[in-house]
């Protein structure tokens, strides 16, 4: 294989793969993990980590963070918006720690980051990702949820639009895959700006719990009803075919045909 072609292809494919799968990388200064998402992407190799107000420089092919720099002011929200972002992020971290083993999360300001005072409107984007791969146990899977939260301080409301995507793969003595996604919309009243983060994350937690419960119910029914309904217990003739005698019957017909041709 031409090494130059391979390197070129890898440089094109890996960034797309890493961002699509929202992989997280350890920052070399020990300050935590940085999520590679489209919402924090500054350019092809630099990603904003809002929690630490820093920019991570990434080697996509090696999947490592090579450098961490302080973020420029223009990449960060105003102090007013940051107060809301911080509140949501703090509540989100607690939820993810409780609900996802090894999960990662981040909160970005994706619109209105320059809003300076009460009464403005801005958008926060909440990202949750949890991947689990265990080849020795023949399984792997990923949970991704993205919530766009439009906060209107004048109306004291937060409008949520979320998408949850789940992928699971089990491959012991077979190949079973699950892909599922669902969109959600909700609006919540913000009674107190200080508790905005807790209120918003509580709605996210509730909707994700509803989705998970529906998944568990649907797929527990697969083995009880759906799979059984896919196949008749008996064929249309109402008699079972004796597969162990199929080869014997076939050979008998062939031998009979050969003898008939020779007569």
Identify the residue with better confidence: 117 or 224: 117
% pLDDT > 90, the chain: 63
Identify the residue with better confidence: 9 or 207: 207
Instruction: Please give the Cα distance from 67 to 84 (Å, whole number).
Output: 28
Do residues 84 and 76 touch, judged by C-beta distance below 8 A?
no
Instruction: Please give the Cα distance from 124 to 40 (Å, whole number).
Output: 12
Structure tokens at 198: 């807790």
Half-sphere exposure of 152 (CA within 13 A, CB side): 9
Q: What is the CATH number of domain 77-230?
A: 3.90.1150.210
pLDDT tens-place string over residues 113-153: 999 987 789 999 999 999 988 888 888 999 999 999 999 98
Q: Enumerate residues 6+ apart whose C-beta is below 8 A from 256.
A: none
Res 262: pLDDT: 47
Q: What pairing do the DSSP bridges indicate for beta strands 24-26 and 139-152?
A: unpaired
Residue 228: its H or E element? helix 227-230
pLDDT tens-place string over residues 167-179: 988 887 778 888 9
Domain ranges of the chain: 3-73, 77-230
Domain 3-73, CATH homologous superfamily name and number: F-actin capping protein, alpha subunit (3.30.1140.60)
Res 220: pLDDT: 73
Give the other-Cβ count within 10 Å of 95's Cβ. 18
Average pLDDT of the segment spanning 69-75: 97
pTM of the model: 0.82
* β partners of residue 197: none
């Amino acid at each position: 294989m031409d090494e130059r072609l391979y390197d070129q292809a890898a440089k094109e494919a890996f960034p797309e793969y890493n961002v699509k799968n929202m992989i997280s990388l350890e920052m070399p200064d020990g300050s935590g993990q940085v999520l590679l998402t489209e919402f924090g992407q500054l350019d092809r190799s630099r990603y904003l980590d809002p929690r630490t107000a820093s920019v991570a420089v990434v080697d996509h092919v090696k999947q490592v963070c090579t450098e961490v720099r302080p973020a420029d002011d223009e990449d960060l929200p105003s102090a007013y918006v940051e107060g809301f972002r911080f509140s949501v992020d703090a509540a989100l971290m607690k939820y993810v720690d409780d609900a996802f083993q090894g999960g990662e999360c981040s909160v970005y300001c994706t619109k209105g980051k320059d809003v300076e005072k009460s009464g403005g409107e801005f958008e926060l984007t909440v990202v949750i990702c949890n991947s689990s791969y265990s080849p020795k146990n023949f399984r792997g899977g990923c949970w991704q949820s993205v919530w766009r939260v439009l906060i209107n301080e004048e109306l004291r409301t937060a409008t949520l639009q979320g998408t949850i995507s789940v992928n699971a793969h089990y491959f012991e003595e077979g190949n079973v895959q699950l892909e599922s996604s669902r969109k959600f919309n909700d609006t919540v009243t913000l009674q107190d700006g200080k508790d905005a983060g807790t209120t918003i994350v509580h709605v996210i937690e509730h909707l994700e719990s509803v989705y998970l419960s529906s998944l568990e119910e649907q797929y527990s029914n697969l083995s009880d009803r759906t799979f059984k309904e896919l196949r008749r217990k008996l064929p249309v003739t109402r008699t079972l075919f004796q597969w162990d005698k199929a080869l014997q019957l076939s050979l008998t017909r062939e031998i009979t045909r050969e003898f008939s041709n020779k007569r």
